[in-house]
Amino acid sequence: MAVYTGIHGTLTIGGQALAFAEFSVKTTRGKATHSRAGKYSDIQRPGKLEVNGTIKRIQIDGTMLGRLLTTSAVTGSAGTLHAGLTMDGTDAMTEMTTPDAQDSRVRLTVVGHAITTAGTAVLIGTDVNGNAQTETLTLTTLGVGEYVTSTKVYGTVTDVALFTVDSEDNGTLAVASIAGSSTYTVGAGATFNLVGTVTNGANTIVVTCNNAFLTDGEFTIGDADTILSEPLSFTVQDPDDDFIIDET
């Protein structure tokens, strides 16, 4: 007889190991009932099956929470929107040479000469869904090669307005989209295959939840003695076809 503990368990999602996670699946069987004359009880038969579960994972990235929002992340691409906005202390709005921000965050980098008088830059454009969007960035006395980056993700940046920003000998600000930042925006939720396995010697139990999707998730921040974790709940689209238990 095999006795299993958590040390024997592994969890995969889409065929890849999901590290630092706990996994639980609950199967609920409903009852089909009907009243009947001359009896103190209803007649009952096995009814519908529902499969739900939970994943509790150490918060090492935003991938799982992102699956709750959408099917894939917007990762962005690097590109030049404008070679250089002149920093001469005047308030000015400049149209971008290339407005396509490629669903990215936007970076303003000091070129040529350092900023001597601080100010602000306002990014004007649209978000990844085409809705109008602006963001104000604070420009301190940055040196050459230093930069500020937007917190918002842009589909396009049509104009950038500078206010009071000055530098010696008309230094400039290069405007560019950047790659590598994963951003999740609301859309259709992702579906994925979950496989929980426990193995002790020659004995194995495998629980497969195909076409699962998340129904809720939580992002929490605690104190210095707390390891951040993300509790997530999921369900299975079609238990008749997607829920399998194997034992060897």
The pLDDT mean for the chain works out to 92
Residues 44-65: what's their mean pLDDT? 92
Question: To 5 degrees, how large is the angle CA 230–CA 235–CA 237?
Answer: 140
Using 50, 70 and 90 to split pLDDT, how confident is the model at 74?
Answer: low
Structural tokens at position 136: 């104000």
State pTM to two decimals: 0.63
DSSP state of 183: B
Query: In the predicted model, what is the mean pLDDT of residues 138-148?
Result: 96
Q: Which percentage of the chain shows pLDDT scores above 70? A: 98
Predicted local distance difference test score (pLDDT) of residue 19: 83
Locate tokens 């009071």: which residue?
A: 164
Q: Which fold has domain 6-31+48-71+186-247?
A: Pnp Oxidase; Chain A (2.30.110)
How would residue 128 be classed by pLDDT, with cut points 50, 70 and 90?
confident
For residue 181, name the pLDDT band (cuts at 50, 70, 90).
Answer: low
**How far is C-alpha 9 from the chain's CA centre?**
26
pLDDT digits (tens, 9 = 90+) for 18-41: 888 999 999 999 999 999 999 999
What is the residue whose two structure tokens read 């299993």?
4
Q: What is the pLDDT of residue 62?
A: 83
Give me the CATH code for the 79-178 domain, please: 2.60.120
- Does the structure show a pLDDT above 80 at 8? yes
Cα separation of 56 and 62, whole Å? 13
Nearest one of 115, 100, 235 to 177, comparing CA atoms: 100
Q: Enumerate residues 6+ apart whose C-beta is below 8 A from 172.
A: 83, 84, 85, 86, 87, 110, 111, 112
Domain boundaries, the chain: 6-31+48-71+186-247, 79-178
Which residues does residue 133 pair with via DSSP β-bridges, in sequence order? 125
Residue pLDDT, tens place only, 101-115: 988 899 999 999 999
* pLDDT value at residue 69: 87
Q: What is the mean pLDDT of residues 237-241?
A: 95
Give the rounded distance of the alpha carbon of 196 from its chain centre.
23
Nearest to 197 by CA among 1, 2, 12, 22: 12
Question: What average pLDDT does the segment 50-68 reach?
Answer: 90
